[in-house]
Amino acid sequence: MNLKTQVKPKKFLGQHFLTDENIAIKIVESLVKTDKKIEDVLEIGPGMGVLTKYLLKDPDYKLTVVEIDFEAIHYIEENFPVLKNRIIQADFLHMDLTTRFPESLAIIGNFPYNISSQIMFKVLDNRNQVTQVVGMFQKEVAERIASRPGKKSYGILSVLLQAYYDVELLFGVDEYVFNPPPKVKSAVIRCIRKTGAELNCDEKLFKRIVKDAFGQRRKMLRNGLSAYLKHQHQNEVSFLDKRAETLSWQDFELLTNQISKIM
């Protein structure tokens, strides 16, 4: 059989294929083993399988891959026949993870940079299933996700992800180890779901407050959150003279509980 030997990177899909085997191994080894005998792992955008082949070598993982590119799907089918019935041709952003993985899964990938933030918002929506994420991001996005209060890069995704996951920026990656080389630096982060992974507040309101607070991040919170505040009860709400970027996720949790009492 003549195996397909190459997939052409497609700009409209944001494809930059990793070519450095050592970095591929390092990414795969960044997954944290759980106490489960075999763990479901979903690789997003396998491309030509640079991570796939090392994931398949580990007997502790049951690997499934999701890929939107027909050419890449054909490549994976031919070169990794062991993945038969575990190759999904789909847009990850529209996958039903709860039905496909009813218990839990880990997610890994060299994520397309044009949808990497959307991938993490979907992870948040499926946090009951997703126990951990190890992914390659544009360095700027990775730093934003891992950023701490008070930093310029700290924002909505920082707060929401850190509320449910322990986030760690693992290492940077230069552009020359990709085909084609991106115009930006890259970095790998790991997010491990916290025990319990639930907040002690109205979680939908928490998410709305975080988004609204950062909608006017250069102003004090009393401006960004004015729609939630009754004038006579404002003295019962903390942090109103602070900016959103100075608050931790725990502060936003407290703020949510205080606002819910006066709404």
Decide yes or no: CATH 3.40.50.150 for domain 11-193. yes
pLDDT at 69: 93
pLDDT tens digits, 202-245: 999 999 999 999 998 788 898 888 888 776 567 778 888 999 99
- The residues pairing with 39 across neighbouring beta strands, listed in sequence order, are 61
Whose tokens are 């993490």? That residue is 120
pLDDT tens digits, 99-137: 999 889 999 999 988 899 999 999 999 999 999 999 999
* 198 — pLDDT class (breaks 50, 70, 90): confident
CATH class assigned to 203-262: mainly alpha
d(CA 82, CA 86): 9
> Do the beta carbons of residue 159 and residue 134 sit within 8 Å?
no
Residue ranges with strand state E in the chain: 17-18, 39-44, 61-67, 87-89, 105-110, 130-138, 165-173, 178-179, 186-193
What the block records as the tokens of 58 is: 């580990």
DSSP string of 223-250, one letter each residue: HHTGGG--GGGGGGSS-TTSBGGG--HH
pLDDT at 4: 56
Q: pTM of this prediction?
A: 0.92
> Do the beta carbons of residue 42 and residue 122 sit within 8 Å?
no
Q: Any idea where the domains of the chain sit in the sequence?
A: 11-193, 203-262
- The residues pairing with 189 across neighbouring beta strands, listed in sequence order, are 135, 169
